[in-house]
A and B are shown apart, each in its own frame.
Chain A
C-alpha cells in the first residue's frame, strides 16, 4: 500500500532437501524435503515471523535464506542481487548485509575467544577496517546492547545466558546489516531475560531501521514482535498474513489449533477458547502424504484433503492460506464445528 515500504528480501519457491542413505547401492536417491516450495517477502525495517513446531522446517528455511545451508531450488533476492548465483567475493559482501542471531547462548559463542573478539569476528572476516575503527565499533556495540566496557575482555562462560545472547546480538550488528535473521533468539532464556532481549531487539530495530526474519515456536512472542507472519507445517507455509489478520482471524485449522493450545493466564480467554486438541503426531517427513500434510490430524478434513495438496492462495488483502476448506468469504473451516 504505502510506497515508502521498500522490499528488501524476496524468497521464491525455496526448497531444501537432505539426501538419505540408500538401503541399496542402486536405485533412486531418496531425500528428506525439509523446506518445500516456500515463498515470502520482507520489507525494510519490518519483521516477518516464521512460526512452526519442531519438524516444520523453519530453522532450515532461515539457514537457507542466509546461505548457510544450500537450497536445491528457488530464488533468494536481496534488493536486486540474486543470492543463489553469487559466489565468494560477492557473497562476502552480502554477508555484511544479512546477519544471524542463534538460539543457544551456550553454544553459539566460541568458548576460546573473548567477548570483544567474538563481536569483532564478522568485521575481521568481511571488512578491511583498521584496528582502531573496529575497536571503536565494538565499544559502541557493547553500549548499544547494554553491556559494560569492562566486560569486553571476559570469556563466554563468565556471562549469564542473557548476557551471552546480547553478545550474539552485538556480533550480528557489527557489520551494520539490513536484515538480521533471528533463530529462536529467546527460547533458551528465562522469561525475565526474554523480555530484556525482546525489548532490546525492538529498540535496535527502530534505531537502526533493521528488518528481522524472526523464527519462533512461541506465538506470544511472535505476536509481540512481528508485522507479518508465516505459519509453517512440515516444510510448507500453510498460512501467511499480517499480524492482525492472522491472530484475529486465523483461517487454517493448524493455526487455530496452535493458538488455542497456548496456555493463558487470562481466565476469560481460558474459559472462552475451545481448546482444539490435535491428536497424534506429524506424518513421516521422509514419505509425506499425497494430499494435505495436515489432513491426518485435522478435525475437519474431507476426502479432497487426502487426495490433493492445497496451494497457498490469497483469500483477501494479502492473507494467504493453503486449505481446501476455506470458503470465499474467508471463514475458517472450523466454524463448521461450532
Chain B
C-alpha cells in the first residue's frame, strides 16, 4: 500500500499494531483473563485462604462440596483447595523461570550459531543436537536425583533439556535475517558484530521466539507435573503434579483427588497455548506484510 502524498498517517509502532491484532482474538483474550485469575490466585490465594496444604484438617476422602471443603480432602485428609492454591504458585514460578532459562540459553546459542559461520556454527549445532536427542524425562530425572529435588534444581533440569527447540528457531531466524539487506546496510554504517546480533537482528527475530517462549511456559508446567507425579519433587512444597501422584492409587475410588488437580493443569496449559496462538497471529502477519 502506498502512502498518498496528501495524507499524513500517524506513525504506528509495530508493538501497537501487534497489540491491536491480538485484542481482536476473543479466544486469546478469554484465556488471558483466566490466566490472570490463576496468577491472582497464586499471589493472594494463600493470604485469603490461610489453610496449610500439609495440615490434616479433616477425614480422608471427604467429597467436594461437603463439610465446607469446596474441593474436598485427599487420602491424608488434607484440604484440596489449599493444595490447588499453593500448587498454582509452584506451577507459575517453575513455568516462568524454566521458560526464562530456556529462552536465555536457547537464544544465546541460537543467535551465535545463526550469525557466525564456520566452526562456531558447527560446534554449537552439534551441542544443540546432543541435548535434543537426550531423553528429556530421563535426563531431568538424573539431574534431580543427583543434585536433589528442590525448586531451583527442577527449574534447571527443565531448562537444560528444553532449550534446543528455542535455539533452533532462533538460529533459523538469524540465518534468514542475516541475508537481508538492512543488515548489510547496518554493517556499512559501521555496526559491530555484537550490535548486529543483539540490537539489529534479534529484535526482528523476536516474533517466533516470543511465541515459543509463551508455549514453553506451558510445557514447563507440564514437565514439572510429570516429574512430581513420579515423586521427583521438592517435598516441602505442594504442586499439582505431586497431588496427582500421591493420590493416583485412589483414582477409581476418589477420582476427584486426581481429576481436580488434573483439570487445573489442563486449564492453565490450555490458556497458555491459546495466548501463544494469539501472539503468533498478532506478530507474524504484520512482519510478512509489505
Contacts and interface: CB of A to CB of B under 8 A. Distances in A.
A169 B12 CA distance: 23
A154 to B, nearest CB: 5
A155 B186 CA distance: 17
A103 B190 contact: no
A102 B185 contact: yes
B12 A155 contact: yes
Interface of A: 63, 66, 68, 92, 95, 99-100, 102-104, 106-112, 114, 121-122, 124-126, 148, 150-151, 153-155, 157-161, 163, 168, 171
Nearest to B4: A160
B112 interface: no
Nearest to B5: A148
25 contacts: A68-B184, A99-B188, A100-B184, A100-B185, A104-B181, A106-B290, A107-B180, A107-B182, A108-B184, A110-B186, A111-B204, A111-B287, A112-B14, A112-B204, A121-B185, A121-B186, A121-B191, A122-B188, A125-B189, A125-B191, A126-B190, A151-B8, A154-B3, A155-B11, A158-B9
Q: Which of A106, A124, A153, A158 has the most CB of B within 10 A?
A: A158
Contacts of A160: 2-3
Contacts of B14: 111-112, 155
A68 B188 contact: yes
Interface in B1-59: 2-3, 8-9, 11-14
Interface in B189-213: 189-191, 195, 200, 203-204
Contact of A110 (B182, B187, B188, B289): B182
Of A66, A68, A110, A114, most buried by chain B (CB within 10 Å of CB) is: A110
Given A121-B186, A122-B189, 20 more contacts: A68-B187, A99-B188, A100-B188, A102-B181, A102-B184, A106-B290, A107-B182, A108-B180, A110-B186, A112-B203, A112-B204, A121-B191, A125-B189, A125-B190, A126-B190, A158-B3, A158-B11, A159-B2, A160-B2, A161-B2
A215 B230 CA distance: 66
Contacts of A99: 188
A154 B203 CA distance: 18
Contacts of B2: 159-161
Contacts of A159: 2-3
Given A121-B189, A154-B11, A157-B290, A103 B184 contact: no
A163 B1 CA distance: 12
B11 A66 contact: no
A111 B203 CA distance: 10
Max count, chain A CB within 10 A of own CB: residue among B9, B11, B13, B14: B11
A115 to B, nearest CB: 9
B185 A108 contact: yes
B286 to A, nearest CB: 8
For the complex of A and B, 7 pairs with smallest distance between CB atoms: A125-B190, A108-B181, A160-B2, A122-B189, A153-B11, A126-B190, A100-B188
Contacts of B3: 151, 154, 158-160, 163
A95 B188 contact: yes
B116 to A, nearest CB: 15
B7 to A, nearest CB: 10
B208 to A, nearest CB: 15
Nearest to A161: B2
Interface in B163-183: 180-182
A135 to B, nearest CB: 16
